[in-house]
Structure 1
Amino acid sequence: MAIVKKLSPITLGFLLLLLIWQAAIMIGGHQSALFPPPLKVGEALLAIISDGSLFAHIQISLFRFFTGYLIAVVAAILLGLILGRLPAVWKVLDPVVQVLRPVSPIAWSPFIVLWFGIGNMPAIVIIFIAAFFPVLLSTVSAVKKVDKTYLRIASNFEMSTFETMRKIILPASFPMIANGLHMALGSAWIFLVAGEMVGAQSGLGFLIVDARNSLSLDLVMACIVVIGVLGLLLDKGIHYFESWVNRIWGGAK
């Protein structure tokens, strides 16, 4: 029990996952070729780490992810801040957004590949689509819910529209916008892998397809583990970013 108490919750969670994984193989009687055990997956992971191929694919995937995600976040926040202050315009655009939002970015992949070819751009565009709508909707909703008292104060001090946006509306809206950033990050990371399976010759998604085609399921599982761990690190990173912004704007608890 003393050892368990010294372990962090994250470590305990991973140990529990490994135990469930190994137990499922033992109870189900699955062949290691069809359902690779943790040890075999670890060996495959060490192999692609030692030859340097894993880090090359991670670097490419992260480049595509951050390019598409950051462009989507900036565009969605700027547009959301404007549309949130123009309710009449938003009433016209909202039905269009609600029609486009549920469409999976992968559904656009035939057109994206035709328009942008293969390489980095298809994955970046798919990530952009996946991240744009959650941030846009959360920003518009947040702006519409800003306390009107703040806006009256800004008017009394004769703040310009830009100053009101920067000093009043954006800080007051940020907690709700942060929720959209979290949702967009998870969605964009999922569709990054899907996008690399469609129109890319490198990256983690391509590595999974290549390993599947060669029937190296231990390598497929190793890539899945890497994708999950990177997703966890990205989620922690956005939590730290949110805390940093809250400290700057005096919103830290």
Structure 2
Amino acid sequence: MIKYKNFINVIIGFAILITLWQLIIFIGKYDSALFPSPIQVWDGILSLIKDGTLFEHFQVSIMRFLAGYLSAVVLAIILGLIFGRIPLLWGVIDPIIQVLRPVSPIAWSPFIVLWFGIGNMPAIVIIFIAAFFPVLLSTVSAVKNVDKTYLKVAQNFEIKKFELLRKIIFPATFPYIANGLHIAVGTAWIFLVAGEMVGTQSGLGYLVVDARNSMRLDLVMAAILFIGVSGLLLDKAVGLIENWINRIWGRA
């Protein structure tokens, strides 16, 4: 019943968006070449699907995203669990992280291209940078706030440090780490598209640039909508994985 209501809410939300979109065009009397209507964009989406262009670029983008995002998540969680348990070490690392974190991954693109060349790697590295910091900071914060009762029980049972991290600290911190995973999905997906608009010849970001250069704003808008929907589905996928892990640990 809840899933059915969520589906209805999605339909209503998209209906409102399309209605506002069409009203803006009608009231502003925009030329279709400058601001394509929902029908024109829908036709553009169908044309991209029929010739296979959309899924070809999406396949490239999703592979880059998974490579950068998953590697960032694994490394950030491992380091976060370690740094959170060693306050003196984190005290030295934290200022460095706070200096690097606000810098846009795109700002590193000149160096990334020089170091990693042209192709998939620059986009993957940009995604890695965008996803790494949210997960690392949420993990460290969660570890530092673990209930002391859990640690006292582990100490009484003489649980070794690795087992303590794996069996007690990580499960206790996972709900907070999951918040970082959701944030990282959004930021990584945004910077994937931005990276593809700059230094690649494939992917959804490149599709936007290519359509713009051809003055096909209907295809530009079609690509933008597909990018947005893909980002939503990726976030929902993270939510499903989160719920699955919580069920394993008896939290659902």
For Structure 1 versus Structure 2, the TM-score category normalised by the shorter chain is over 0.9
In structure 2, C-alpha distance between the alignment counterparts of 1:117 and 1:194, rounded to whole Å: 17
Deviations 1:131-169, CA, capped at 9 Å, x for gaps: 000000000000000011101111111111111111100
Residues 77 and 6 (structure 1 numbering): CA distance in 2 closer, same or farther, change over 3 Å?
closer
Structure 1, 182-191 or 151-160: larger mean CA deviation = 151-160
Partner of 1:75: 75
Structural RMSD (CA):
1.1
Q: Which amino acid aligns with 1:175?
A: P
Counterpart of 1:126? Answer: 126
Look up the equivalent residue of 2:62 and give its one-letter code. Answer: L
Q: Please give the secondary structure, in 2, of the residue aligned with 1:132.
A: helix
Partner Cα separation in structure 2 for residue 60 and residue 6 of structure 1: 30
TM norm structure 1: 0.96
> What is the aligned partner in structure 2 of residue 64 from structure 1?
64
Q: Describe the SS at the equivalent of 1:8.
A: helix
- Which 4+ stretches in 1 moved above 4 angstroms? none
Shift of residue 6, structure 1, vs aligned partner: 11
Structure 2 CA distance for aligned equivalents of residues 187 and 154 of structure 1 = 36
SS in structure 1 opposite 2:102? coil
Distance in 1 (alpha carbons) for counterparts of 2:111 and 2:46: 38
The code of the aligned residue for 1:142 comes to: A
Tell me, yes or no, if structure 1 residue 101 matches structure 2 residue 97. Answer: no
Letter in 1 for 2:161: T
For residue 217 of structure 1, what is the amino acid of its counterpart?
A: L
Q: Residue in 1 aligned with 2:148?
A: 148
Correspondence for 2:89: 89
Q: CA separation in 2, counterparts of 1:130 and 1:251?
A: 29
Local SS of the residue matching 2:146: coil
Q: Deviations over 1:68-120 (max 9, x none)?
A: 00000000000000000000010111000000000000000111111111110
**Letter aligned with residue 71 of structure 2:** I
Stretches of structure 2 lacking an aligned partner (at least 5 in a row): none
Q: Deviations over 1:21-48 (max 9, x none)?
A: 1111111111000001000011111111
CA distance in structure 1 between the partners assigned to 2:160 and 2:200 by the alignment: 46
Question: How many residue pairs align between the two structures?
Answer: 248
Query: What SS does structure 2 have at the residue aligned with 1:118?
Result: coil
For residue 7 of structure 1, report the CA deviation from its aligned partner: 6.7
Q: Measured at CA, do residues 97 and 45 of structure 1 come closer, stay the same or move farther in structure 2, by a change above 3 Å?
A: same
- Percent of aligned pairs with the same amino acid: 68
AA at the equivalent of 2:235: D
* Alpha-carbon separation, structure 2, partners of 1:28 and 1:118: 42
